[in-house]
Structure 1
Amino acid sequence: MPAVTSSQSAYAALRFGRIAAMSAVAALILIAGVWASWDTAQHVMLSKGREQGTITVKACSGERCTGPYTPVSVGSTARARVTIESSVAVKKGGTYTVTVKPGSSKVVRSGPAGLLYAWVPLGGALLLTSVVVAGGLRLTRAAWVMAGVGIAQLTATFLVL
């Protein structure tokens, strides 16, 4: 049985280091995508017991749009003015179903459009991670699956909005 040479063990150590580093980078990107999405997604996904209603956008300035809130859920109160983040998902004059963030006058879109829009950062993270997984970990099938899921999520969001 031949002995392991120093060049073979150095190659094995470098390979292990590459796999460990790329795995850490991929995990960090995915965690950041979930973290960025969860701030909004929690209000949409865990809406039971939260105030739900509609907003009719009257004015937009900068990064915020405002309008009156009309309650739909039991225990929710009407508000003359609530704010929603101005984005591609919100247009002046539109009426949207929303969930009120607890303890504030801020609202987020709810329903299928709101749910898909909330997870857009994760869709982007999946696309970016697929490149790391394909190039750094050399797992092309897993990378294609991740890219496919990311593209599907972003496409569905685009079509719904």
Structure 2
Amino acid sequence: MKRSSSHRALQYGRSAALGCVVLLLLVAGVLSSWDSAHHIVLAKGREHGTMTVTGCGSEVCTGPYTPADGGAARSRVSVEKSVAAKKGDRFPVVVKPDTFEVVRTGTPGFLHAWMPLGGALVLAGLVIGGGLRLPRVGWGAGIAGGALLVATFIAL
């Protein structure tokens, strides 16, 4: 049975709309991740040191900062709260320029910074596999995102 041109146009329009949704999810994941990740990925020339957690609120943990390269020590800096930060923990950080905010470095910090992209990949995998009818690509995106989320959970 031959399909009408309007049916084909509808399918192309549906595929284009779902492709835009996938693109929006992935761009949002990258931009959300890059906000913290660029301090880790492009850390050359930034202040590196160690933070000791002395207390945690609902969104941030605070504590003193000890520089690794002879910079200025700070009595109080803040880091985004994660499930792994407890009072007394010490971990390597890099200071965001001109602030008292720090970002955790090393493998756990790198993975934690890219967590929003992992979630976006899982969601995009559902749209790719189910909506665009590309199950192998969908499974690949979903597994990559899930692996990133699991690796972050294990590293922290």
**Deviations 1:102-150 (CA, angstroms, capped at 9, x unpaired):** 0101001000000000000000000000010011111111001101101
2:28 is the counterpart of 1:32: yes
Which of 129, 140, 152 aligns to 1:134? It is 129
Q: In structure 1, what is the Cα distance between the partners aligned to 2:84 and 2:117?
A: 17
Q: Secondary structure at the match of 1:129?
A: helix
Q: Secondary structure at the match of 1:33?
A: helix
Q: Secondary structure at the match of 2:50?
A: strand
Residue in 1 that maps onto 2:59: 63
Which of 134, 140, 152 aligns to 1:145? It is 140
Q: CA deviation at 1:56?
A: 0.5
Q: What's the C-alpha RMSD, in Å, of the aligned pairs?
A: 1.2
Identity %: 52
Greater alpha carbon shift after TM alignment, 150-159 vs 55-64: 55-64
Residue in 2 that maps onto 1:104: 99
- Aligned partner of 2:120: which letter? A
Runs of 4+ with >6 A deviation: none
**Structure 2 unaligned blocks of 5 or more:** none
2:18 is the counterpart of 1:22: yes
Q: In structure 1, what is the Cα distance between the partners aligned to 2:58 and 2:155?
A: 24
Which of 43, 47, 51 aligns to 1:51? It is 47
Residue in 2 that maps onto 1:118: 113
Residue in 2 that maps onto 1:81: 76
**Structure 1 unaligned blocks of 5 or more:** none
Q: In structure 1, what is the Cα distance between the partners aligned to 2:43 and 2:86?
A: 23
Q: CA deviation at 1:89?
A: 3.4
Q: In structure 2, what is the Cα distance between the partners aligned to 1:114 and 1:33?
A: 17
2:14 is the counterpart of 1:42: no
Q: In structure 1, what is the Cα distance between the partners aligned to 2:73 and 2:81?
A: 21
Q: Secondary structure at the match of 1:125?
A: helix
Q: Secondary structure at the match of 1:152?
A: helix
Q: Secondary structure at the match of 1:28?
A: helix
Q: Secondary structure at the match of 1:77?
A: coil
1:43–1:92 CA distance, 2 compared to 1 (3 A): same
Q: In structure 1, what is the Cα distance between the partners aligned to 2:9 and 2:60?
A: 52
Using structure 1 for the length normalisation, give the TM-score: 0.92
| Matched residue count | 155
Using structure 2 for the length normalisation, give the TM-score: 0.95
